[in-house]
């Protein structure tokens, strides 16, 4: 009889945990807007510098309050290394690598993605507060890895 009670308790703990984790998942995706980055397409890594839009990396206003950042992550820098946008902008990052695997993390945002040669990574973020965000490479990419950084300046 005692075993029965323990079994019930363990089952309800298990069920409760499941609900807690599902709740956390729902909060992260629906509430906090955390989701996996999109794989936006593929590209020949050898031809990154001659394939639009990566032949002309930079920041472009695509609509009022909406910006597109076309970025190349290479050993060992981000091009452009400085992104300047007004506060409240919704920014779409499109990024690829012509050489080895890099990563991009923009501090204090949900932007955190791997940059794989041959693939175009895409992510979107709205910068609400004026401040500076450090951009860092988070995949060890060679001897100059720790020099690989940039800045997002929200004005
Ligand atoms: Cu790196």
Determine the distance separating the centroid of ligand 1 and the alpha carbon of 126, expressed in angstroms: 25
- For 38-76, write each residue's pLDDT tens digit: 677 888 989 888 988 899 999 999 999 999 999 999 999
Determine the distance separating the centroid of ligand 1 and the alpha carbon of 88, expressed in angstroms: 29
Q: Extract the tokens encoding 64.
A: 């009022």
Determine the distance separating the centroid of ligand 1 and the alpha carbon of 8, expressed in angstroms: 50
The answer, yes or no, to whether residue 79 has pLDDT greater than 70, is yes
Closest CA to 93 of 135, 132, 30, 142: 135
Determine the distance separating the centroid of ligand 1 and the alpha carbon of 46, expressed in angstroms: 19
Residue-level pLDDT at 1: 56
Domain boundaries, the chain: 1-35, 38-154
Which whole number is the average pLDDT over 8-18?
Answer: 94
Determine the distance separating the centroid of ligand 1 and the alpha carbon of 155, expressed in angstroms: 27
Which residue has tokens 């970025």?
A: 71
Determine the distance separating the centroid of ligand 1 and the alpha carbon of 128, expressed in angstroms: 28
The answer, yes or no, to whether residue 5 has pLDDT greater than 90, is no
When the candidates are 3.40.50.970, 3.40.50.80, 2.60.40.420, 3.40.50.720, the CATH number that belongs to 38-154 is 2.60.40.420
């Amino acid at each position: 009889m005692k075993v029965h009670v323990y079994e019930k308790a363990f089952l309800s703990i298990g069920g409760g945990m499941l609900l807690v984790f599902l709740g956390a998942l729902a909060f992260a995706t629906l509430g906090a807007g955390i989701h996996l980055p999109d794989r936006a397409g593929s590209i020949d890594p050898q031809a990154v510098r001659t394939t639009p839009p990566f032949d002309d990396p930079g920041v472009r206003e695509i609509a009022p309050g909406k910006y597109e950042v076309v970025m190349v992550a290479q050993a060992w820098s981000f091009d452009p290394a400085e992104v300047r946008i007004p506060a409240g902008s919704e920014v779409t990052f499109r990024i690829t690598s012509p050489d080895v695997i890099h990563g991009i993390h923009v501090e204090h945002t949900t932007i955190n993605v791997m940059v794989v040669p041959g693939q175009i990574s895409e992510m979107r973020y709205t910068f609400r507060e004026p401040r500076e965000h450090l951009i860092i490479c988070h995949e060890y990419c060679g001897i100059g890895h720790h020099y690989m950084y940039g800045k997002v300046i929200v004005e």
